Each structure stands twice: as C-alpha cells, then as structure tokens.
Structure 1
C-alpha cells in the first residue's frame, strides 16, 4: 500500500471511531438531521427555548411597603396618577426621570403577577409600554438598587407616583426614604 493511502486509511479509521463513539455515548444532541440538514433545531424550537429562559418582564419583590411590582432587574415599578387611561402622559423630561417600561413582544409576568392584568399601550414614538390593570408602568431614575422605593409618593410632572401591588392598585403608604422630588 502506498504511504499516502495508508495515511488516508488511518484518518478514515480515526474519524469512523470518533463518530461511533459519539453515537454510542448516549448524547441527546443530534449529530445530524435525518434529512441530511444541519444539527440546529428548527427556529420555532429555538424561539420557544429562548422564551423559557428569558426573564419575565414584570415580577414582584417584598419591600417595606409590601409586595410590589418590579422589572426584570428587580427595580421598582410605579403608576403615574396623571395617566387616566392606558395611554401614557409622561414624555420628554418626564420620561427621562421616569423611564417607561417598554417591550418588543408580549410582556410576561412571574412571582404573583397576574398575567391577565398585563398588556401594552403604544407610546407616541411607536414603542409598546407595559401596562398593568390598564395603567402604564414606569421606573424612577432615582432608584439605583433593587428594593429602592425613592419615587414613592413624589409629586413630579403634575401628579403623584406610587408603587404598584400585585392586585393592580397603587400602594399609597408613605416612606421615609424619599430623597425629595429632585425633578
């Protein structure tokens, strides 16, 4: 046998052994699709898996004021009393101080959040703001850490701001940690 043929035969044997070992390993990962395609799962399966691992849009946290709504980073969410409908009235400087909670897809909830109360409302820029019980949700720029409720009861931009309970109602209990309006 010629030397280059022996090398090819040896490589083929090594490759065969590796494939055989992989097939016998009991791995649940497919090595190839039955139609000769790639080993990647269908896009719909990948999206479903991503949705399962994505954090919920809204969840809850126990703080001094009770069990309140928070975003996926555990930062407190607020209602703005000036919002009389699901349409936000907070824009410009207001939205800079009180960033709206926006999503690209349907919002999800966990930890006592009632999914039937979650929805969205289109903002003037075309983004979708998350609403809860028909009220737009916002963060407060002055809340830097999970559990901060520095915006509680502040009167900014023409109305008061309050944290939200899982029942979809404002919690109006005062807190002594407010830094003042600042905005």
Structure 2
C-alpha cells in the first residue's frame, strides 16, 4: 500500500506541474514574456504591409505589422539607416523579404521602397526614410516614441505625405530613456 500512496503523490505532483506550466504566459501579452527586439523585427519580416492610422492628436501616420506605429529617425541619411546595435534593439527596423505593400489609409505605393542595412537585411523605407518600430509601443495605436530624443536625434511618426509629424502625442508620448 505504501507504493500506491507514493505513486498517487507523484501523479498528483506531476499533474500540478503540467497544469501550472500552462498558466501565466497566455496570448494576451500580459505579464508573461514579451517579444525580443530581434523577434519583433523578424516577425515583421512577414508583415510587408504598411498601413495608415488616423489619430486626433497626430493626424494620419504610418503603421506596420500588427498595426504598430512606424517612426523615422532624424539622424538617418536617406535612404541609409544609421541605427544599429543598441539603437536597433530599442527601435527595431521594419524588415521585409521582398517588396513592401501599400495598405489602407492613404499609403502611397510610389513612396514605399527598401534599403539594404549593414547586416544585409532589407529595411522598408517611405519617401526614402527608413522605418522603425519602438519597443515602448506594446499595442497598436501607441505612440510612446513620438518626439523622443535618443541615439543622437529625434524620432517622429511619419505622415502619409512622407514627412515627420512633429506634433506631441495626445497621451504625452514619452517612455523610458535609452
């Protein structure tokens, strides 16, 4: 009988471990592990479409994979990116395989292009400006990177006309400093 109790105890403990391992990292992006910058850039490689989103405070600006906000870096010399290393960790480039696609909201197909990065990957450009995501934007529609001065220059959302939108974000933008 002693072996039967031990076997039942082991089985119960194993069941708890299995049940516990399924908790805490659901698909809602809550407090579980988040996507790393390189994973974000890689998953964006499959999201070739550039859309535009309207916001009362900023007007219409570009979005990429998962409808996350796209930014330009004022330090870039069109169409070449100057953001690499720690900069590209905080501001992952929009990477594609092939050609980007103009989506909804007024994105102009003729302004879309690509540029080869120093690492050999292909970055999406709009009116010759390399496009980036911001790690501080966790959901679609967030503009926490708007107006930040990081890595030697300012970051702004990009309007469908290809120009930097220099208004302040309604929510104050902001985020942690790098």
Same fold per superposition (TM over 0.5): yes
Unaligned 5+ residue runs, structure 1? 1-53
Kindly state the Cα deviation for residue 108 of structure 1 after the two structures are TM-superposed: 0.4
Q: Secondary structure at the match of 1:95?
A: helix
User: 2:177 aligned with 1:182, yes or no?
Assistant: yes
Structure 1 residue 129 displacement after superposition: 0.2
In the alignment, is residue 83 of structure 1 matched against residue 76 of structure 2?
yes
Deviation at 1:65, TM superposition (A): 0.7
Q: 1:70 and 1:180 mapped to 2: Cα distance?
A: 19
Question: In structure 1, what is the equivalent of residue 144 of structure 2?
Answer: 150
**Residue 67 of structure 1 contacts residue 166 of structure 1 at CA under 8 Å; is this kept in 2?**
yes
Q: Could you say if the C-alpha distance between residues 88 and 147 of structure 1 is closer, same or farther in structure 2, counting changes exceeding 3 Å?
A: same
Distance across 2 between alignment mates of 1:85 and 1:181: 27
What RMSD, in angstroms, separates the aligned Cα atoms of the two structures?
A: 1.4
Aligned pairs (5 A) from 1:32-181: 56-63=48-55, 64-111=57-104, 112-175=106-169, 176-181=171-176
CA displacement at 1:181 relative to structure 2? 4.4
Alpha-carbon spacing, 1:56–1:124, altered in 2? closer, same or farther (3 Å):
closer
Residue 55 of structure 1, CA deviation: 6.2
Shift of 1:72: 2.8
| Per-residue Cα deviation, 1:61-102 (whole angstroms, up to 9, x for no partner) | 112311110003110000000002201000000000000001
Distance 1:60 1:72 in 2: 11
* 2:92–2:132 Cα contact (<8 Å) kept: yes
Cα offset for 1:142?
A: 0.2
SS in 2 for 1:94: helix
Pair 181,154 (structure 1): closer, same or farther in 2 beyond 3 Å: farther
Match of 2:88, SS state, is: helix
Q: Which runs of 5+ in 2 are unaligned?
A: 1-45
Query: TM-score if structure 2 supplies the norm length?
Result: 0.70
Report the structure number with the largest CA radius of gyration.
1
Instruction: Give, in whole Å, the separation in 2 of the partners of 1:138 and 1:116.
Output: 19
Superposition TM-score, scaled by structure 1 size? 0.68
